[in-house]
Structure 1
Amino acid sequence: MKPIEIRTVDVVQYLKPLREGGSLPGLVKADDEFLYVIKFRGAGQGKKALIAELIGGELARAIGLHVPEIVFMNLDDTFSKTEPDEEIQDLLKFSVGLNLGLHFLSGAIVYDPLVSIADPMTASKVVLLDSMISNIDRTAKNTNLLNWHKELWLIDHGSSFYFHHNWATWETHLSRTFPAIKDHVLLERATKLEEAATEIENRIDPATIAEIVSKIPEEWLNSETDTLSPDAIRAAYIQFLETRLSQLNLLVKEAKNAR
């Protein structure tokens, strides 16, 4: 497989908060002159949301879906000192260090299930991806999809892998499927689930999963509240995803029944 390369950039300008996101992501400019949507380590779900964003986004890319480039973003302590809004000031202060960014898609339109386009194969792959990563946040109320240049783009996987908020019980999730798929915004259009499952199996293998999980920065895995070591956490993500991959036929059946 082709090695995954994730660039690291420095934030040079904080432009504005994007208040439509529950965790107050922001629009920033980096030292490479590009604009990014930054997801802050100091936001509500903390570093775990960044891990979910990284794994979910790179898995989506691996199966041929469109995801904005993901980068690591260094944020220094100067931005909080010049920010007048106290809420954002605190967010910037608690996010000093390594954060995560997605390339800003200028002119992109939020996906509207009533008028936007999503072909059956793409819809089916998105549904199965979200079943694999337990993404509870791709509903009609909050699609986390964009239309850009007449293509469907995936954003915001931070609510995925919700088992990682309690490592004491994570193994109980290995035998579960994903009933919440019944609320998926693309489920009605996902009419090629078997074909999508075959393509996912052809594109994703244990080496791909291990490569993606290896990109999680060590500092995102260190937490005083976690009961597992960083190495054990990486192994847990790998085991969970390998199990999900082996259960694709069950996820297909569940999604078809829900549809």
Structure 2
Amino acid sequence: MNKIDIRTVNVVQYIYPLREGGSLPAIVKADDGFQYVLKFRGAGQGKKALIAEFIGGELARAIGLNVPELVFMNLDNSFSKTEPDEEIQDLLKFSVGLNLGLHFLSSAITFDPLVSKVDANTASKIVLLDSITSNIDRTAKNTNLLHWNHELWIIDNGASFYFHHNWETWKNHLTRTFPLIKDHVLLQKATHLTEAAKEIKHLINEEKITEIVSSIPEDWLLSESDSLSPTEMRDAYIQYLNTRLSKIDLLVKEAEDAR
């Protein structure tokens, strides 16, 4: 089965925490010399947030949106031993192993819906992407968008796929749309939804979805509290996304009605 090409790097320096994020991500340096925003497996939503971040980010990249490079990041147990802050110390301790990093966009500015500009096609693609992935966290309160080098960049897809927090009921979500799109920060600017839907259908198919889902590290899919095996979880993500794509016209109508 084909996988996408994701680099794996090792954390060599913990620089500082990003306290505006509820899960305390951090700026770290890796052994390739670059800085990353490290998302921790030991944070609140755990490995599921990393899976959502990974799938959402790679789908965004597949439809031509700007996403910082995603890398798998190995964290060893040496960092928690030298960290004086107890909260961060625990986070580092529970996050030993494979985590997720996003290339750090130095001097990027947070998207401001009142000031920042975005073209209608880009806004429409982002709105539909978030409908497809059921991302509840791209609102005016928390845009999870950055301006960097005069371009709009997508970050923080970790609140997507909220169905995976309860695998017992995940199939119920196959028949649903995404009414929460009414709160999307870019909804008013998303005036090219029909055109964006055609582009997305052209760029994402079952093969691409399978490629992305197959690239999720096996370790992230292992949990004593989950009722599904890793293989069943991969199949569920693939089925969910294929179902969403098949009803993209319904998602377009829902977003247009909400606007």
Q: Which residue of 2 aligns with 1:146?
A: 146
Q: State the Cα distance separating 1:117 from its structure 2 match.
A: 1.1
Whichever residue aligns with residue 167 of structure 2, its letter is: W
Output one character per residue of 1:199-242: Cα deviation in whole Å (capped at 9) or x when no partner.
00000000000000001000000000000000000000000000
Write the distance in 2 (CA, Å) between the matches of 1:93 and 1:21. 19
Q: Aligned with 1:79: secondary structure?
A: helix
- Pairing of 1:26-105 with structure 2 (within 5 A): 26-105=26-105
1:253 is aligned to: 253
TM-score, normalised via structure 1 length = 0.99
Tell me, which stretches of 5 or more residues in structure 1 are unaligned?
none
Q: Counterpart of 1:15?
A: 15
Partner of 2:5: 5
Q: Which residue of 2 aligns with 1:209?
A: 209
Cα deviation 1:15-47 (Å, max 9, x = unaligned)? 000001110000000000000000000000000
Distance 1:226 1:3, change over 3 A: closer
Partner amino acid for 2:98? Answer: L
Following superposition, the deviation at residue 107 of structure 1 comes to 1.0
CA deviation profile, 1:125-152 (whole Å, cap 9, x unmatched): 0000000000000000000000011110
Which residue number corresponds to residue 161 of structure 1?
Answer: 161
Give SS of 2:55's match.
Answer: helix
Measured on the aligned residues, the alpha-carbon RMSD in Å equals 0.8
Matches of 2:22 and 2:144, distance apart in 1: 12
Distance 1:225 1:117 in 2: 44
Report the Cα distance in structure 2 between the residues aligned to 1:62 and 1:173, rounded to whole angstroms.
24
> One-letter code of the match for 1:251?
L
1:79-109: CA deviation from partner (whole Å, max 9, x where unpaired): 0000000000000000000000000001100
Corresponding residue for 1:123? Answer: 123
Secondary structure, counterpart of 2:256 in structure 1:
helix
Deviation at 1:3, TM superposition (A): 5.9
Aligned to 2:199: 199
Amino acid at match of 1:87: E
Amino acid at match of 1:162: Y
For normalisation by structure 2, the TM-score amounts to 0.99
Q: Find out whether 1:235 has 2:240 as its counterpart.
A: no
Residue type of the partner of 1:124? S
Mapped partners of 1:256, 1:103: distance in 2: 34
Cα separation, 1, equivalents of 2:4 and 2:165: 26
Deviations 1:32-76 (A, max 9, x none): 000000000000000000000000000000000000000000000
Q: Distance in 2 between matches of 1:172 and 1:87?
A: 37
- 4+ residue runs over 2 A deviation: none
